[in-house]
Structure 1
Amino acid sequence: MATFISVPLKKSSEVDLVKPLSKFVTATYPAAEEQADYIRSVEELNKLRKSALGRPLDKHESSLEILLRYYDQLCAVEPKFPFSENQLCLTFTWKDAFDKGSLFGGSVKLGSGAFGHIKDTVLSALNREPTMDISPETVGTLSLIMLAQAQEVFFLKATSDKMKDAIIAKLANQTADFYGDAFKQCQYKENLPKEVLPVLSAKHCIMQANAELHQSLLAKQKKRFGEEIARLQHATELVKTVASRYDEYVSVKDLSDRISRALTAAKKDNDFIYHDRVPEVKDLEHIGKAALVKATTITPPLSAKFTDLFEKMVPMAVQQSMSVYSQRKAETVNRLVGTMREATNLCNGVLASLNLPAALEDLSGDSIPQSIVEKARAIVQQGGLQSIEQLIRDLPELLTRNREILEESLKMLGDEESTDSELRSKFSQRWNRTPSGDLYKPLRAEGGNFRSVLDKAVQADQVVRERYNTHCEMIALLCKPEAELTAAIPSANPVKTLQGSEVVSVLRSQLAQLEEVKKEREGLEVEIKGVAFDMSSSFLTALAQDGAINEEALSMSQLDQSYGSYSQRVQASLRSQEELLGKVQASHQEFSKLKQSNSEANDREEMLKKLASAHDSYVEITSNLREGTKFYNDLTEILLKFQNKCSDIIFARKTERDELLKDLQQSIAREPSAPSFNVPAYQTNPAPTAADPTPAPRTVMHPLKHDPRPDPATRSRKAPRPPAKKPPSPQPNAPPNHCALQSFLAGCDTA
């Protein structure tokens, strides 16, 4: 009669995967078709989990497909979402194990491999001491038990198919060895139920007896009748041991009767016919072994029908590399664009200091130069003083909003950390969860970076405001009607004699070349900002080939390839400007010598310089203020995500804290309120002696009977056993090749 050890169901509670995963998707991916697809995939994952939770109750091979698909999906999802205590938290209301560890099964070999896989990975997967059911010692023992049972399935199959006795003997002997190894492994394990040890010992003896029985049949075929009798006698001793010690757990009557009949017939034939010498058991040739099983290696996907719901989503390693690459790319673009803008500002400043091109347009000495008119018109079209002052007034409000979000987020962390510290001080070593101070270090560092960014932004805002105060008077003058602007500019004696001079023509040509250089830069800036390259494929390839991503090497190589030519063009533009400015300054010196110099002309030229400089400052200040506004608005979104991250982890920690407090309170309530003391004898009332109550059998594991039909004759001869020794109820019947580990496939999730 085959008795299999089964592992009981693991129960799991309902867990909402949709909310935390959807929150991560919404915060990480832009609101587009891609985001909608991922959210639908999250909902499908939640449905798959709910379906998997009920499958262990369905005792059928086909029910494993859903469980294996769920396990495969967990393996596929794990590298794509940042599951951790301080990032994406999934909160559960139990502590026994986790989903991946309880979804293995499908065959006893797979069960053995599953337990072995848990043994090898559980310590690295948890940041605390594992619970009893998934400790390396427990699952290592279970792996050996499952391997022995898998070998026994082959023995039963060979016996059923009436294969050669030599083969069956080797299979049985190997099975006995496997059960012996499992017995040694769990002999001193107190965390396994008491029923397991006798079943393993009985199985070891039964398999040895089967090996001796079939080897005796082989000896009979070879006319070695003494060996036949010796092996049958040894088999008889083995089954007698099982019957006397382990009859409570297994029945060997059929096997014992078969061996007894064979031994009686063999002795009769040998006594009357062959008279062959019966050797000692120690002198018998060792029976061979045939191991047909080994623990199945756990390599996802385990399901043949598995399709990743998040196939388009790249792993977190790639996401992080993409984020760093985007920062490197932004730095490269900003460096190139910033270099060109600085060069343009330098050019405008030099020309303004030389009063160019206004000096060439002001040869009449009494009209407004055309360039000044155009600059005044441009300022008015952009909103003049009102627009720039409105932008300046908006900045403090945006800054305050960002500071409030940041400070509120850090305050939440501080409050939870204080609560955790108080409870840790109160409960001491019993408060055995990760300290909030250690867990929040990355978040506090991130918050410190945000605070530093805001401080630098305040300094930059002050610089812009001071520059505006310097030029606001001239900017206001440029916003006035043309008549008022003309009246504000001093008149000077005309210098019409210079209008046809060669130096004026040369200066105008050089200024036109400078304008062409600046226009080329504007086009070059658009090209630089428009460069796009998808690095995800390169990162995915590197991850697949090496198992890791050398982000810096790959990113720098691609950036050099993408922006190397643009960097050369920027440098060429700077050299052209430097050369042209040198020529302009030389020509302007010659032009100044030809002009008639007087105080009125100097005052007029100084005013025109200030107006030109005011226009350039207006353009730059407006650009800076708009960039600052965009910066604060973008930072608000980032800080809101940071705030959500903080609130999520605090919620998860609060749930964990409440559970731990509940456990501690129950533990404290069970402790005695005072030490035990001796009661005086005269206060003790004599009471009739009663038998101690029999403890209920443990149900962590129990034998699973293959064929529980009792022998009527045997049952009638046996006296009823006392209730205290009643074995645990067997599991429902299952064929020998049924997956004995299927009952372990309950849900419990990985956080």
Structure 2
Amino acid sequence: MAASLTSTASNVMLSINEKKTVSVEIYRPFRFYIASHYSEREAQNLEDDLETVKKLRSDLERSSDSPDVRRDLLLTYYKALIVMETRFPISADKDHINAVNFTWYDAFKPKNKASQQSIQLEKAAVLFNLGAVYSQIAVSADRSSSPNGLKVACNSFMAAAGAFAFLRDNVSMKVQSTTVDVSSECAGMLERLMLAQAQECFFEKVISEGRTPGLCAKVSRQVGLYYEEALTALSVASLNQNFDRNWISHVQLKASLYYAEACYRYGMELHEKEEIAEEIARLKSGISALIDAKKSTKGVSAQLLDAIPKLEANLNRNLERAVKENDRVYLMRVPAASTLPPLPSYSLVKPMSMSEVLDASKEKMFTSLVPDNSAKALSRYTEMVDDIIRTQAEKLQQGSEITRVKLKEMDLPDSILALEGNISLPMDLKEDVEAVQISGGPSGFEAELQQLKDLRRVNQELLIQTEELLEKEAREDAQFRSQFGTRWTRPQSSTLTKNLQDRFNRFAANLKQAADSDARIERAVKDHSALMAILDYRPIESALPTLARPIMSLDANEDAVVGSLKQSLVILS
């Protein structure tokens, strides 16, 4: 079977063997693809990266390295595969890399193999082997005599569980027609198995530290639950034919042993609480589980079989004591096992997250090659960003207009400035006011208006004089034309003075329009004379209105409200 059995002083755990592969030519097909799809110069620049990938794959094909070295190799190669996946399409397509064929054998049934032109198969196999190597590191750790060894074993089992969980959740579903060992079902089963063994490490720890029977019972029960979940997964049709019977027997016996162990430890806690009736029921349930487990122990290691009679003896001894005490002292009715609530459990382990461990974002290989899908994604991203910016700009413009109207309706921020007495005029308006003040203020307007009247009278007199001269010239022309008849050869007056008459009419119209305008100005000055009196104030800001604070405050909260309004206005600006 694809697992090796290793024992500590009192326990046996499983490690997973790696999948085997065959040699694959990586360098030439990848270099040809770069040269044909990018350029020969690009292919030359990436020679070192291609050699690195070639060496990683070559090292992967050998299995003579230590588990620690294998782990680092698998991690490095998997990150390289992630980088390559986005840049090198591997398939039977004529435009893709179609000369690379990955072949991997089933770890549990080596006669079965999968051979595909797919980088997903390569990734799945590498992840499986990573979980297998982590399990080998865990099993090889010295748990019996070294606290650090127990820690290494537990952490490595959780790392193995993380690798198998990552395989199940991210890669298995992308691989078509492959071997059973990298299927989602198998990866899930192996994750449960690794968690069970990691929890076992914690059970060994709490036992060695002499923790309370209640805690030991909870930890033990969780070990059994993980093994039960693994056993359930092994019983699925797609898996039960792919594993040796001794695999299933091992997991089944472990599940029963740790259930019985939990009954034994929980019974000790019940005895301390003098809950003798339930103690008897729990001990009987544990003994029954061991009796059933002994019926299918074919292929199980001798070390594991030795644990059965020892635990059974402990259960029987405590049961005999509890029965005697109940018969003589407590006289309690022993409940049926089926009526008992589930044993309490407590998990101390979880799959290690592999997201950071397998993160390839900082890898430097093939960085000069921009994947086609990345270029398309960048274009789509740019269009999306432009669309978002346009939409948000329109919303901002609409919001600004609505805000301006709302602030105007609430007389903000003018009301706050008036309340604080800090209001000031716009610079252009202030300069106009100062110009008026320099010219004499409101009283200066009256002098200006009087000057306008005088100028209008003079212009009107000049216009009348001009009109009289034109009329006189026309009369004289008519008189001489009547007196001399045909001897008066001068053109008619209306012809000679036509331009002058047109200009006269324009001047007359302009003067009338100016008179109307002056009249409107005079009326406006007269109507607003009282308001215009503030132009005599120096400085002009002293004439601006202010808001008086209320004589009585109802809740002394006005300052806070004003402060909040000011802060909101600052944010809006």
TM-score (ref. length: structure 1):
0.39
In the other structure, the counterpart of 1:616 is: none
Residue 144 in structure 1 maps to residue 180 in structure 2 = no
Q: Any idea what the Cα deviations from partners look like across 1:674-698, whole Å, max 9, x if unmatched?
A: xxxxxxxxxxxxxxxxxxxxxxxxx
Q: CA deviation at 1:240?
A: 2.1
Equivalent residues of 2:249, 2:298 under 8 A apart: no
Equivalent residues of 1:228, 1:266 under 8 A apart: yes
Q: CA deviation at 1:142?
A: 3.1
Aligned length: 328
2:101 aligned to which of 91, 94, 116: 91
In the other structure, the counterpart of 2:242 is: 192
* CA distance 1:300–1:14, shift in 2 (3 Å): farther
Within-5 A mapping of 1:246-285: 246=297, 248-249=299-300, 250-251=304-305, 252-268=308-324, 278-285=334-341
Q: Which amino acid aligns with 1:209?
A: A
Q: Percent identity?
A: 25
Q: CA deviation at 1:47?
A: 1.5
Q: Any idea what the Cα deviations from partners look like across 1:290-325, whole Å, max 9, x if unmatched?
A: 223334444254389x9624162345135654xxxx
1:50 aligned to which of 51, 55, 58: 58
* CA distance 1:62–1:221, shift in 2 (3 Å): farther
Q: Secondary structure at the match of 2:281?
A: helix
In the other structure, the counterpart of 2:77 is: 70
The separation in 2 between residues aligned to 1:100 and 1:158, in whole angstroms, is 38
In the other structure, the counterpart of 2:215 is: 167
The separation in 2 between residues aligned to 1:37 and 1:161, in whole angstroms, is 59
Unaligned stretches of 5+ residues in structure 2: 1-9, 105-112, 116-120, 135-155, 388-573
Q: CA deviation at 1:96?
A: 2.8
Residue 101 in structure 1 maps to residue 157 in structure 2 = no
Q: Which amino acid aligns with 1:259?
A: L
2:23 aligned to which of 1, 7, 14: 14
Residue 205 in structure 1 maps to residue 256 in structure 2 = yes
1:313 aligned to which of 364, 368, 393: 368
Q: CA deviation at 1:261?
A: 3.4
Residue 237 in structure 1 maps to residue 283 in structure 2 = no
In the other structure, the counterpart of 1:217 is: 268
The separation in 1 between residues aligned to 2:23 and 2:79, in whole angstroms, is 20
The separation in 2 between residues aligned to 1:54 and 1:262, in whole angstroms, is 53
Equivalent residues of 1:80, 1:313 under 8 A apart: no
* CA distance 1:155–1:53, shift in 2 (3 Å): farther
The separation in 1 between residues aligned to 2:67 and 2:166, in whole angstroms, is 24
Unaligned stretches of 5+ residues in structure 1: 322-538, 543-548, 558-751
Equivalent residues of 1:114, 1:298 under 8 A apart: yes
Q: Which amino acid aligns with 1:136?
A: S
Q: Which amino acid aligns with 2:208?
A: S
* CA distance 1:554–1:241, shift in 2 (3 Å): closer
Within-5 A mapping of 1:343-742: 542=378, 549-550=379-380, 553=383
* CA distance 1:303–1:272, shift in 2 (3 Å): farther
Q: CA deviation at 1:76?
A: 2.4
Higher relative contact order (CA 8 A, sep 6+): 1
The separation in 2 between residues aligned to 1:119 and 1:52, in whole angstroms, is 22
Q: Any idea what the Cα deviations from partners look like across 1:576-597, whole Å, max 9, x if unmatched?
A: xxxxxxxxxxxxxxxxxxxxxx
Q: Tell me whether 199-208 or 145-154 shows the greater mean CA deviation.
A: 145-154
The separation in 2 between residues aligned to 1:93 and 1:308, in whole angstroms, is 26
Q: CA deviation at 1:215?
A: 0.6
The separation in 2 between residues aligned to 1:283 and 1:59, in whole angstroms, is 51
* CA distance 1:217–1:556, shift in 2 (3 Å): closer
The separation in 2 between residues aligned to 1:160 and 1:303, in whole angstroms, is 38
Q: Which amino acid aligns with 2:191?
A: S
Q: Which amino acid aligns with 1:85?
A: A
The separation in 2 between residues aligned to 1:11 and 1:5, in whole angstroms, is 19
In the other structure, the counterpart of 1:26 is: 35
Q: Which amino acid aligns with 1:38?
A: L
The separation in 1 between residues aligned to 2:354 and 2:174, in whole angstroms, is 16
Q: Which amino acid aligns with 2:372?
A: A
The separation in 2 between residues aligned to 1:19 and 1:192, in whole angstroms, is 37
Q: Any idea what the Cα deviations from partners look like across 1:129-159, whole Å, max 9, x if unmatched?
A: 3333333333333333333333333333333
In the other structure, the counterpart of 2:344 is: 288
Q: Secondary structure at the match of 1:4?
A: strand
Q: CA deviation at 1:37?
A: 4.2
* CA distance 1:125–1:285, shift in 2 (3 Å): closer
Residue 125 in structure 1 maps to residue 174 in structure 2 = yes
In the other structure, the counterpart of 1:362 is: none
The separation in 2 between residues aligned to 1:8 and 1:96, in whole angstroms, is 17
* CA distance 1:231–1:125, shift in 2 (3 Å): closer
Q: CA deviation at 1:169?
A: 1.4
The separation in 2 between residues aligned to 1:292 and 1:91, in whole angstroms, is 42
Q: Secondary structure at the match of 2:258?
A: helix
Equivalent residues of 1:219, 1:228 under 8 A apart: yes
The separation in 2 between residues aligned to 1:15 and 1:248, in whole angstroms, is 37
Equivalent residues of 2:195, 2:349 under 8 A apart: yes
The separation in 1 between residues aligned to 2:385 and 2:35, in whole angstroms, is 26
* CA distance 1:312–1:92, shift in 2 (3 Å): closer
In the other structure, the counterpart of 2:448 is: none
The separation in 1 between residues aligned to 2:174 and 2:276, in whole angstroms, is 58
Q: Secondary structure at the match of 2:13?
A: strand
Q: CA deviation at 1:218?
A: 1.1
Equivalent residues of 1:81, 1:315 under 8 A apart: no
Q: CA deviation at 1:550?
A: 0.9
In the other structure, the counterpart of 1:2 is: 11
In the other structure, the counterpart of 1:227 is: 278
The separation in 2 between residues aligned to 1:153 and 1:96, in whole angstroms, is 35
Q: Which amino acid aligns with 2:124?
A: G
Question: Alpha carbon RMSD of aligned pairs, Å?
Answer: 3.5
The separation in 1 between residues aligned to 2:313 and 2:45, in whole angstroms, is 66
Q: CA deviation at 1:40?
A: 0.3
The separation in 2 between residues aligned to 1:124 and 1:239, in whole angstroms, is 39
